C-alpha cells in the first residue's frame, strides 16, 4: 500500500492506495478511532459489486451499518437525492457521532460528502472511490455538492473526509468508457503541473489502457500527490486551487447544455481542455505545437476533443456565464502557457471565446 497525505493541520487525512484492500476498511476505521454507526452510501451499480464486501468488513470491525442505495448517474446528483440520504439517516436514528462512507464514483462522493457536511451541522465521512476519475480527483480535496438545473455543482460545501481509501482493483469492473473518462483528469494534471506526467502518459498509452498495474498505480499516486499539494496550499480556492479547473469552464457548460446525458464528466473536461488550449493559442500565450500535443494525447486515449456541431450555442454560452468561478460576471479561464504550467486569465473578449468554441466545433 501507498499513502499520500493531505496536509491541512488538524484536518489532515491520508489517501491510501492499494490492491485488494476493500476488505480491510473496517479495521482501518477502527484504527482512526471510529466506533460509531456507519451510513454506507452507494448506488445501484456499485453496491452489488462491492457493497457486501465493505459491509462485512465494517461488521467484522464491530461497526453497525445502515445502507443507503441511490440510482446511478449524474442526473441524480440533485438536492432530491441528498434529501433521500437525510431521510434514511433520520429513520435509522443516526446521530452526529455517526460516520458516512461514500462507496462509488464522483456523484456518490459529492452527494455523500454534501449530505455529511450539513447533517446535524456536519459529521465525519470516508471516501471509497471506485472510478478512476473519483480516485484521482473528486474524492480528494473536500469539494462536495449537487447540481442545479441552471448549472453544475451550484450548491455545495468544502468538507474534508477523514480518509480516502483507494482499491485499484475496482477499476477491473469499471466500464471502459468510464475508465477512459477518468484519464482526462490525469492528463489535466500533466498540463497544469507536471510535464513529466504528461510525457509518461504519452509513452504509456497502451499500458494504461491495458490496466497494467505499474503504470496505473503510478498515475493514480502522482495525481493524488498533485491534488494534495494544491489543496494543502489553497483549500478553498482563493487562488492556486483554481488551476484545477482547467478544461472545466467550457466542460461544465457543455455538460449543462447537453443535459448531462451526452458526455461523461471526464469527456466534457477533455473537450474543454482542447478548446481552452486553443483559446490560449488565440491569445498568443502558447504555441500551436503544444496545443497539438494536447489534442493528440486526448485522442490517443479515445477521448473526445470536439464540441458537437448541433449544440445550442445560446444555451451553451448562457450556461458558461453562470459558471460559479466567474468573478463580478467576468469569466475566469485557466490557460496553459506551456505543458506543465497554467495561468489565470480574466476579462477575455467574448468574441475570442466564441472563436475558440467554433474551432472546437470543427475539430
Q: Is 152 a catalytic residue?
A: no
- The active-site residue out of 100, 248, 278, 281 is 248
- The active-site residue out of 241, 276, 278, 281 is 241
- The active-site residue out of 143, 152, 221, 222 is 143
Q: Is 121 a catalytic residue?
A: yes
Kind plus residue range of the DSSP H or E element containing 151? strand 151-158
Torsion of CA 262, 265, 271, 276, to 10 degrees: 140
- The active-site residue out of 178, 225, 235, 237 is 237
Q: Is 252 a catalytic residue?
A: yes
Kind plus residue range of the DSSP H or E element containing 316? helix 313-321
Q: Is 245 a catalytic residue?
A: yes
Integer Rg of the chain from CA: 20
The CA distance from 97 to 79, in Å, is 23
Q: Is 354 a catalytic residue?
A: no
Q: Is 148 a catalytic residue?
A: no
Centroid of chain to Cα 56: 27
Residues in contact with 227: Cβ distance below 8 Å, sequence separation at least 6, in sequence order: 136, 137, 140, 141, 189, 244
Torsion of CA 112, 185, 216, 167, to 10 degrees: 0
State the angle between helix axes of 213-233 and 195-203 in degrees (0 to 180), rounded to the nearest 10: 160
Q: Is 207 a catalytic residue?
A: no
The CA distance from 23 to 332, in Å, is 43
**Contact indicator for 146, 79 with CB cutoff of 8 Å:** yes
Q: Is 93 a catalytic residue?
A: no
The CA distance from 25 to 39, in Å, is 14
- The active-site residue out of 265, 276, 278, 281 is 265
Q: How many residues does the chain have?
A: 363
Residues in contact with 349: Cβ distance below 8 Å, sequence separation at least 6, in sequence order: none
Phi, psi of 323 (to 5 degrees): -55, 130
- The active-site residue out of 74, 235, 245, 255 is 245
Tell me how far CA of residue 19 lies from CA of 8, 24, 263, 267, 291, in angstroms. 26, 11, 29, 26, 36
**Contact indicator for 107, 77 with CB cutoff of 8 Å:** yes
- The active-site residue out of 252, 255, 267, 278 is 252
* Residues forming the active site: 121, 143, 185, 227, 237, 241, 245, 248, 252, 265
Amino acid at each position: 500500500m501507498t499513502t499520500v497525505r493531505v496536509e491541512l493541520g488538524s484536518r489532515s487525512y491520508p489517501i491510501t492506495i492499494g490492491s485488494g484492500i476493500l476488505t480491510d476498511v473496517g479495521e482501518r476505521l477502527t484504527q482512526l478511532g471510529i466506533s460509531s454507526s456507519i451510513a454506507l452510501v452507494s448506488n445501484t451499480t456499485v453496491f452489488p459489486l462491492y457493497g457486501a464486501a465493505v459491509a462485512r468488513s465494517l461488521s467484522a470491525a464491530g461497526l453497525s451499518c445502515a445502507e443507503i442505495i441511490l440510482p446511478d448517474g449524474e442526473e441524480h446528483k440533485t438536492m432530491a437525492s441528498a434529501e433521500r440520504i437525510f431521510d434514511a439517516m433520520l429513520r435509522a436514528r443516526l446521530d452526529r457521532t455517526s460516520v458516512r462512507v461514500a462507496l462509488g464514483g464522483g456523484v456518490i462522493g459529492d452527494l455523500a460528502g454534501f449530505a455529511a457536511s450539513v447533517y446535524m451541522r456536519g459529521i465525519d465521512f470516508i471516501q471509497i472511490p471506485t472510478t478512476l476519475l473519483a480516485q484521482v480527483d473528486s474524492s480528494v480535496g473536500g469539494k462536495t455538492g449537487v447540481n442545479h438545473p441552471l448549472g453544475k455543482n451550484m450548491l455545495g460545501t468544502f468538507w474534508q473526509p477523514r480518509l480516502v481509501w483507494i482499491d485499484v482493483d475496482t477499476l477491473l469492473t469499471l466500464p471502459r468508457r468510464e475508465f477512459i473518462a477518468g484519464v482526462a483528469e490525469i492528463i489535466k494534471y500533466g498540463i497544469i503541473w507536471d510535464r513529466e506526467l504528461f510525457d509518461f502518459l504519452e509513452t504509456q498509452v497502451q499500458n494504461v489502457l491495458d490496466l497494467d498495474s505499474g503504470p496505473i498505480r503510478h498515475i493514480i499516486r502522482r495525481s493524488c500527490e498533485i491534488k494534495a499539494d494544491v489543496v494543502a496550499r489553497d483549500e478553498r480556492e482563493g487562488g492556486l486551487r483554481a488551476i484545477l479547473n482547467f478544461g472545466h469552464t467550457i466542460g461544465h457548460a457543455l455538460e449543462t447544455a447537453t443535459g448531462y446525458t451526452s458526455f461523461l464528466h471526464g469527456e466534457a473536461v477533455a473537450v474543454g481542455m482542447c478548446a481552452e488550449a486553443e483559446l490560449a493559442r488565440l491569445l498568443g500565450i502558447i504555441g500551436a505545437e503544444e496545443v497539438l500535443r494536447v489534442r493528440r494525447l486526448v485522442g490517443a486515449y479515445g477521448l473526445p476533443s470536439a464540441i458537437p456541431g448541433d449544440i445550442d450555442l445560446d444555451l451553451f454560452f448562457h450556461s458558461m456565464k453562470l459558471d460559479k468561478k466567474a468573478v463580478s460576471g467576468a469569466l475566469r479561464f485557466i490557460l496553459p502557457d506551456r505543458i506543465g504550467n497554467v495561468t489565470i486569465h480574466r476579462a477575455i473578449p467574448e468574441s475570442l471565446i466564441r472563436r475558440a468554441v467554433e474551432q472546437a466545433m470543427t475539430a
